[in-house]
Amino acid sequence: MRTYNNIQRWCTVGLLSTVLIASSCKKSFLDVPPQGQQPAVQFWQTEADAIKAVNSIYANLRSYNNVAFPALVIESVGADEADKGSTPTDATFWNLYDTFTVTSTEGSLQAFWTGQYQNIELCNQVLDNVPGITMDAALKTRILAEAKFVRAYSYFRLVRAYGDVPLRLTIPKDATEYNIPRATKAAVYAQIELDLTDAAAALPQSYGSADLGRATKGAALGMHAKVAMYQKKWADVLTYTNQVLGLGYSLYPDFEQSFRYNHENNAESVFEIQAEILQGNAGASNSQFSQVQGVAGVTGGGWGFNSPSAVLAAAFETGDPRRDATIIFRGETTPEGDVIPTTTPNERYNQKSYVPFSQFVSGFNEGAQQNIRVLRFSDVLLMNAEAANETGNTALALNSLNKVRARARGANAGILADVNTTDQTALRSAIYKERQVELAMENDRYFDVIRQGRGAEVFGVKGWKANKNEVWPVPQTEIDLSGGLLTQNTGY
């Protein structure tokens, strides 16, 4: 089965090459010089090997399959908030996801699947090999917890996208262990929760500047809350989010600036995928997250894909500053002073992935230094509000919801008035709406609507069908190479 055969070979031979793309001039835990590959037989001997191995996990998180086209078609464009973007004839396969006509042979299904299992295999290598290394015990515990966090995050992305998926928790010992069947969603979620429980117990609350960006206790608890939310375990969501609320996070005062490169890893950041430009090492500066979504047709912009939709532009309340902080409109001047030509192919671009054009460095991908925000404190507050409402704690629900609105409102008392309804149904709708506008273009809207049971209501006009489009098709290549052991999702 190629998922495991190919990835096993890639990870054994390429782990050190992956370490090499984990470079950063600001985050020294990612700062390693270019060098030749270290043979696998010499690896897994020292504490330094353990550190290199866990760093390779973080490096792979910003790979193309994890943050560019495959991730955006699987996690974003199916939602009502995003259109394909670019020009009508460019990468037309995006339309298959936007109209829910994709079939199991479309290549991005395989690419996203492969990207997540590459992450998982790197994590499994750490979890299988680091325990046998003689090294500092506290550091070993932390490294294992980091690997469990990323493995849980990758399985969460898989189970949302495909439903039942193969559950690989160790490195295959021989060819007989490569081909395994799909595990049930319940089993996958149970393992995700186990990994996140272990991670939260071992990870530190914060790091020094040299390790800024590694997974923390707050990241594990916040991710656990989201995983519990998808299973409607509302008491657990409340427990985990309340714990995160006590860890010192806060909402960054300026919503628009919170997404800029100069303010990455701020007090609102619970977990970000780290990216950086390292002069003289373009291969290490490999993120295309900003590039593929940037303003098309301008130097320092990008390709113009994953364009915010007219539906999203109309979703914000009058005067909500998050609208202009989320969407770059054709013809506008950004807060950073970039003039957006009226001749660009698209009316709208994703401002959350935007890097000011003046920060473009020739020879590197546009916006390669932009971190990818995975989990923000505002999301934790909104999960807390939703769980509190579902468990009958209206006062807490309103308090958490209105904190998010107050940050967006800022000093302008004339907009975004506090929500004050005590009706559970009305408050639920208000929380759903707040998630739509607060977390827009952050790859949550599509799966949010589905887990809320509103897929047909919201996406039906685009062709979404119940009992089919809750998940994407399993890549046909995986089914073929498994000899039929893997089965296809219903309707595909």
**pLDDT > 70 fraction of the chain, expressed in percent and rounded:** 92
For the domain that residue 80 is a member of, what is the CATH number?
Answer: 1.25.40.390
| Average pLDDT rounded to a whole number, residues 278-285 | 83
pLDDT at 285: 87
Residues 332 and 466 in one domain: no
Tally of structural domains, the chain: 2
Residue 37's pLDDT band (cuts 50, 70, 90): low
Task: Provide the residue range defining the domain that includes 72.
Answer: 1-203+462-492
pLDDT digits (tens, 9 = 90+) for 433-467: 999 999 999 999 999 999 999 999 999 999 999 99
Tell me the per-residue pLDDT of 304-357, one tens digit each, with 9 for 90 and over.
999 999 999 999 999 999 999 999 999 999 999 999 999 999 999 999 999 999
Q: Tell if the pTM clears 0.75, that is, is over it.
A: yes
Domain end (from 336, 370, 404): 370
* Residue 211 belongs to some domain of the structure: no
Residues 190 and 87 in one domain: yes
Give the pLDDT confidence score for residue 7 in this predicted structure: 42
Asked if 489 and 360 sit in the same domain, the reply is no
Q: At 385, is the pLDDT very low, low, confident or very high (cuts 50, 70, 90)?
A: very high
Q: Is 115 helix (H, G, I), strand (E, B) or coil?
A: helix
Domain boundary among 319, 340, 370: 370
> Is residue 405 predicted with pLDDT exceeding 60?
yes
Distance CA(89)–CA(256), nearest Å, equals: 32
Rounded distance between C-alpha atoms, residue 23 and residue 285, angstroms: 7
- Same domain, residue pair 33 and 173: yes
- The verdict on residue 82 lying in a domain is yes
| Calpha distance 138→399 (Å, rounded) | 38
If asked whether residues 193 and 288 sit together in one domain, one would say no
- Between residues 74 and 36, which one has the greater pLDDT? 74
- Distance, in Å, from the CA atom of 123 to the CA atom of 301, rounded to the nearest integer, reads 34
Is residue 181 in a domain?
Answer: yes
Check whether 232 has a pLDDT greater than 60.
Answer: yes
At residue 20, does pLDDT exceed 50?
no
Residues 152 and 291 in one domain: no
Percent above pLDDT 90 for the chain: 88
Whether 175 and 32 map to the same domain: the answer is: yes
pLDDT given for residue 367 in this prediction: 94
CB atoms < 10 A from the CB of 210, how many? Answer: 12
Task: Please report the pLDDT score of residue 49 as a whole number.
Answer: 97
Residue 417 belongs to a domain: no
pLDDT exceeds cutoff 60 at 1: no
- Exposure string of 324-347, with b = 16+ CB inside 10 Å and e = fewer, is bbbbbbeeeebeeebebeeebbbb
Q: Identify the domain boundary among 334, 355, 370.
A: 370
